[in-house]
């Protein structure tokens, strides 16, 4: 009797692992396949059965990418846009979060709700006027144009307020006030050091989001030298006679840095995304 139950249980256990391994393979295969493609000549895609092992064209394919698009420039542009947007969002959000958490002022709840409500406006609604606004100021095709839309992050203010509520005691603020600190000094030397972990969380959310952004940058960036990597990669696929090896090489090398960072900080990454959505 006991034996039967144990057997049943281990079959269930095997099923659990089988499902999870299947899900993992499904998740990982495109990554692996991208790598295989990045090492093969374009003709490899026409072979039957398909090639599933890496070839020897890793360098050649990447050389072709560099010949076609300013790869490193695009990566650098993306990095600048992502970092700038992240820093601005962290600053604006923590300052506003501090105000909403520790100050009493008329309209506090109203302003806070207004910020949350801006989340429901779809980004496409303002796309056309935003484009003309940027054009009006002569900012088309600049990195500033590529980043400015991402300075707005209602979720960031929400997360920062929550975090400050939980982790910065009112007494600490009072004590600093009695010591004669100005409000901004309190923000800088009392609040900021305490909320650094929340900066990591929000920073990852913003950085990943801006890194993957496409529609807006596709709209305002016009010349290859100001392309972010997403726009540059998309341009690889816009001709009719596509060198798949080259395209995959571009995708591969632009994804590798992100994979490395993700694997290094995977716990932080996963908890950030979960917190950002669940809070």
Partner 1 sequence: MRTSDKERKGISSGLSEKTKDRISAYLYISPFFIIFAVIGLYPALFSLYLAFQSWDGFSPMTFAGLQNFQIVLTDPLFWKSVYNTIIIGIMGTAPQIIVGIILAFLLNLAMLRWKHFFRVTIFMPYITSLVAVALIFSVFFSSNETALANYVLGLFGMDPINWKTSEWGTKIAISLMVFWRWVGYNTIIYLAGLQSIPNELYEAATIDGASKPQQLRFITVPLLKPFIILTVFFSTVGALQLFAEPTVFLGSSAFSRDEAMTVVMYLYRDAFNLQSFGTASATAIILLILIVVMAAVNTYLSSGMGRKRGKKA
Which helix (H) or strand (E) segment holds residue 122: the answer is none
Q: Crossing angle, helix 229-236 and helix 244-264, to 10 degrees?
A: 150
Q: Does 140 bind partner 1 (CB under 8 A)?
A: no
| Number of other residues whose CB lies within 10 A of the CB of residue 221 | 24
CA 145 – CA 48 distance, rounded (Å)? 46
Q: Does 172 bind partner 1 (CB under 8 A)?
A: no
| Tokens coding 30 | 């495109």
User: Which residue lies nearer to partner 1 by CB, 108 or 169?
Assistant: 108
Q: How far is the CB of 241 from partner 1 (least distance, A)?
A: 10
Contacts of 27 (CB under 8 A, 6+ apart): none
Residue 166 lies near partner 1 (rule: CB under 8 A)? no
Site string for partner 1, 184-223 (x = CB under 8 A): x--x--------------------x--xx-xx--xx----
**Ranges within 106-135 binding partner 1 (CB under 8 A):** 106, 108, 111, 115, 118, 120-133
Assess 72 for contact with partner 1 (CB under 8 A).
Answer: no
Q: Are the beta carbons of 97 and 163 closer than 8 angstroms?
A: yes
- Residue from 4, 53, 56, 104 in contact with partner 1 (CB under 8 A): 104
Q: Whole-angstrom Cα distance, residue 45 to residue 48?
A: 8
24 touching partner 1, by CB under 8 A: yes
How many chain residues touch partner 1 (CB under 8 A)?
99
Task: Give the span between the Cα atoms of 24 and 69, in whole angstroms.
Answer: 33
- Rg of the chain over all Cα atoms, to the nearest angstrom: 24
For residue 239, the minimal CB distance to partner 1 (Å) is 6
Work out how close the CB of 160 gets to partner 1 at its nearest, in angstroms, rounded to a whole number: 11
Q: Which of 16, 116, 196, 264 binds partner 1 (CB under 8 A)?
A: 16
Q: Is 84 in the site for partner 1 (CB under 8 A)?
A: no
């Amino acid at each position: 009797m006991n034996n039967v139950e144990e057997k049943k249980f281990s079959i269930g256990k095997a099923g659990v692992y089988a499902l999870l391994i299947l899900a993992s393979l499904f998740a990982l295969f495109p990554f692996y396949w991208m790598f295989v493609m990045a090492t093969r000549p374009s003709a490899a895609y026409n072979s039957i059965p398909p090639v599933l092992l890496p070839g020897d064209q890793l360098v050649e394919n990447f050389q072709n990418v560099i010949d076609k698009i300013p790869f490193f420039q695009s990566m650098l542009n993306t990095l600048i846009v992502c970092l700038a947007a992240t820093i601005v969002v962290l600053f604006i959000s923590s300052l506003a979060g501090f105000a909403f958490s520790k100050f009493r002022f008329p309209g506090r709840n109203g302003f806070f709700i207004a910020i949350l409500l801006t989340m429901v406006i779809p980004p496409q609604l303002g796309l056309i006027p935003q484009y003309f606004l940027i054009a009006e100021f002569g900012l088309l095709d600049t990195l500033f144009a590529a980043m400015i839309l991402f300075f707005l992050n209602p979720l960031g203010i929400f997360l920062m307020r929550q975090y400050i509520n939980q982790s910065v005691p009112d007494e600490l603020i009072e004590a600093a006030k009695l010591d004669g600190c100005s409000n901004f000094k309190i923000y800088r030397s009392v609040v900021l050091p305490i909320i650094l972990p929340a900066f990591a969380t929000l920073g990852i959310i913003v950085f990943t989001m801006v890194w993957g952004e496409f529609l807006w940058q596709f709209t305002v960036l016009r010349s290859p030298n100001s392309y972010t990597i997403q726009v540059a990669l998309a341009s690889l696929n816009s001709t009719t006679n596509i060198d798949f090896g080259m395209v995959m090489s571009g995708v591969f090398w632009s994804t590798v840095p992100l994979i490395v960072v993700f694997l290094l900080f995977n716990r932080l990454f996963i908890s950030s995304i979960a917190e950002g959505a669940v809070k």
